[in-house]
Structure 1
Amino acid sequence: MVHGLLYALVALTAVRTLLAGPPLRAGSVIGLLAVAVSVYSVGARRTARRQGPDGTWSALPHLAVTVALWAGTFLLGPDAVWVAFGLDFAVLQALPLPGGVVALAMVTVIAIVGYAGGTPQAGVAEVLGPVIGALVALAVVQAVRALQREVAERTRLARELLAAQARIRAQEREAAAAQERERIARELHDTVAQSALSIQMLLEASASALERDDPAAARVPERVARTVLRLAQSLLANAVQHADASRIVVSVEAAEEELILDVVDDGVGFSPGTAEGFGLRAARARALAQGGRLEVESTPGSGTAIHVELPLPAQDETEREETPVGR
């Protein structure tokens, strides 16, 4: 807006000079004003990036040259006095307040002296005109700067508020995630502990039932029973952690020559061809260590069935295992 005002006043002065004066004088005045506007435009463009709401001292050189060229027009006539009003705004906006006020006073003095020197009949009104224009420019520029500072402060506060809200949301997400992890860990711990207890009770009940109904159950040595218990606990915990199942069925059966453990769930399943996780690898190694085998049947989306077979020793081997040393 300031640049536009200055350019408009220069154009008005050029027109008035062409209409009122000899061509040579008019051409000289217009030439000086054209050079002044060029210097001002180049300087204003260079300092625009460094100029904040309170102005910058880097604008002083091009403003000094501009004012000097404008002052030179008064040697040819008083027509350029109108440009003073635009320069008032230009120096106040571009320079810090102390420099702007000094430059404003210089522009006002040049306008008064230049106009009075070129107009013998100049009166009080002609003197007061530049002074009033300077005071108006000072009031307007100060009001605009105050508004700019207020806008800048509110913008800073808004950015800080947005940053604080973003931090609070991040902290809330982290807290919610931590609470969810804690809940899942607690539920998983409780589920695995309850499941292990249920498996142990199931094995004990199955052993009692097998001993009553099937003589082969009497040949289940303690080491095999412990292996079955550990396998059942491990496979059940693995299903709870990974299968996302709503139902898990565990069954134990003593056959003539082997003890059979089946763990079946209705969870997400997986492709048996993919790499097995640590839980399945550990269970398979435990079964192989007892001379048994572990088989996995699973389809993505259709649950998983794990079948374990552990060999049972012959009757005499069972008695030797259960006979205390030194007996």
Structure 2
Amino acid sequence: MREDRLRVAMRWGFLLLLAAAASRYVVRHGWGAQTAGVLALAGVLLAAYTVNELGSFAPGARFAAVIVAFLALVLAAPSFALVAIPLFFVGLRQLPQRAVWPLVGLLTAAVVIAQIRLADGFDPSLVLGPVGIAAITTVVFLELDRQNRARQHALDALVAARDELDRSQHEAGALAERARLSREIHDTLAQGLSSMNLLLQAADREWDTEPTQARGHVREAAATARDNLAEARRFVRGLASPALDGASLTDALRRLCAATERDTGTPVRLTVVGTVVPLGVDNEIVLLRVAQSALANVRSHANAQQTAVTLTYGDREVMLDVYDDGTGFDPAVATGFGLTGVRERVAHLGGKVTIESAPGEGTALAVSLPMREAG
């Protein structure tokens, strides 16, 4: 924007200086053939300048025509030397930097010669003045050009950084959503499919010998499929778990423990300690998902003889403990997605996760979350 204003100012400056020099020449020399020739050269310079400013072809050739017309005009009428000032700007803007100083030297020499021709006698100021003005003008223009380039570079870097930030935020959002869906699938659909697989396998084994019990397994598998369908629709929409619809967290945990006991054939005991209070949707969903993930591991890997789930309501935090006496594992080397999902869920709400286990010694998973207002 500044460069555009400067360019317009220099155009007007050129026109004003050209008009001033022409009027001065007419006043000094009157009308005649010589004046007509000088004004014709001024017209040629104006035409060359206009073509250079508005044209888009051969910039070097266009500007060379301007300089040739200017030199011819100054040779005929030295009073037009002041027109060199706006031509400095045109050259600095249009030519490569290696051509700047030769241009400045040529225009300065033309102005010095014009000054000497107009003066009654020689005076060092006739040389030093134009040289000083040319040097100052050139340095100012070069500094403005440098600042404009630096400003444009900084603006380009800022735009690039903003685009990179937008891209990073988009990728981070996509990764976060992918992680959310992965956790939901692991803690709901995958467990539901595992449960249905166990129920259908049991039904297949008992179909001929215990048809009534086999049909019961099939009905339970169908109910699990319906629950999984509701879960799938829920987490796609980002809503609360249907297990919590119209039910408390303790009710949902009680049903989860009963389903795990049914699938594994081993006791799963639920204990609630403290005064039951609403925890807020976020806390309840995380605690339910942690319990689902822990009991899924019990169902699939632990070979436990008994499992205990304890939900403790404290003054400042709520705690969930899941213990089984199964095969156990080494937490230091465990890299399962389920444990990663548990840690991510709990950390998101500012909670803590503790896992105590060893091969052959069972597993104890403890999660604590700060109490939140129900909402």
Deviates more, 1:107-116 or 1:168-177: 107-116
Number of matched pairs: 222
**1:98/1:193 CA distance change after superposition, 3 Å:** closer
The whole-number CA distance in structure 2 between the counterparts of 1:37 and 1:147 is 30
Displacement of 1:197 after TM fit?
10
User: Which protein is bigger by CA-based radius of gyration?
Assistant: 1
Displacement of 1:247 after TM fit?
6.7
**1:279 aligns to what?**
none
**1:127/1:241 CA distance change after superposition, 3 Å:** same
**1:222 aligns to what?**
210
**1:106/1:85 CA distance change after superposition, 3 Å:** same
The whole-number CA distance in structure 1 between the counterparts of 2:72 and 2:161 is 53
User: Could you say what the CA RMSD is over the residues aligned between the two structures, in angstroms?
Assistant: 3.2
The whole-number CA distance in structure 1 between the counterparts of 2:182 and 2:93 is 60
**2:109 aligns to what?**
109
The whole-number CA distance in structure 2 between the counterparts of 1:190 and 1:59 is 70
**Equivalent of residue 26 in structure 1, options 35, 45, 48:** 35
Displacement of 1:144 after TM fit?
0.7
**1:121 aligns to what?**
121
**1:21/1:129 CA distance change after superposition, 3 Å:** farther
Deviates more, 1:176-185 or 1:233-242: 233-242
Instruction: Give ranges in structure 2 of 5+ residues lacking alignment.
Output: 1-5, 235-241, 248-375
**1:170 aligns to what?**
170
The whole-number CA distance in structure 2 between the counterparts of 1:224 and 1:45 is 94
Greater length-normalized contact order (CA 8 Å, ≥ 6 residues apart): 1
Aligned residues: percent identity? 15
**1:46 aligns to what?**
55
Secondary structure, aligned partner of 1:23: coil
Q: TM-score, normalised by structure 2?
A: 0.52
* Per-residue deviation, residues 68-121 of structure 1 (Å, max 9, x unmatched): 112222343221011122222222222111212111111111222233235443
Displacement of 1:6 after TM fit?
2.1
The whole-number CA distance in structure 2 between the counterparts of 1:122 and 1:18 is 25
**1:139 aligns to what?**
139
Instruction: Give ranges in structure 1 of 5+ residues lacking alignment.
Output: 51-57, 204-219, 249-327
* Per-residue deviation, residues 227-261 of structure 1 (Å, max 9, x unmatched): 4422431343234323654379xxxxxxxxxxxxx
**1:196/1:86 CA distance change after superposition, 3 Å:** closer
* Per-residue deviation, residues 247-304 of structure 1 (Å, max 9, x unmatched): 79xxxxxxxxxxxxxxxxxxxxxxxxxxxxxxxxxxxxxxxxxxxxxxxxxxxxxxxx
* Per-residue deviation, residues 195-222 of structure 1 (Å, max 9, x unmatched): 759989xx9xxxxxxxxxxxxxxxx963
**2:153 aligns to what?**
153
**1:16 aligns to what?**
24
**2:67 aligns to what?**
67
**1:177/1:8 CA distance change after superposition, 3 Å:** same
The whole-number CA distance in structure 2 between the counterparts of 1:87 and 1:144 is 16
**2:331 aligns to what?**
none
Displacement of 1:128 after TM fit?
2.5
- Report if the CA contact (8 A) 1:108-1:130 is conserved: yes
Displacement of 1:18 after TM fit?
2.5
Displacement of 1:139 after TM fit?
0.8
Q: TM-score, normalised by structure 1?
A: 0.59
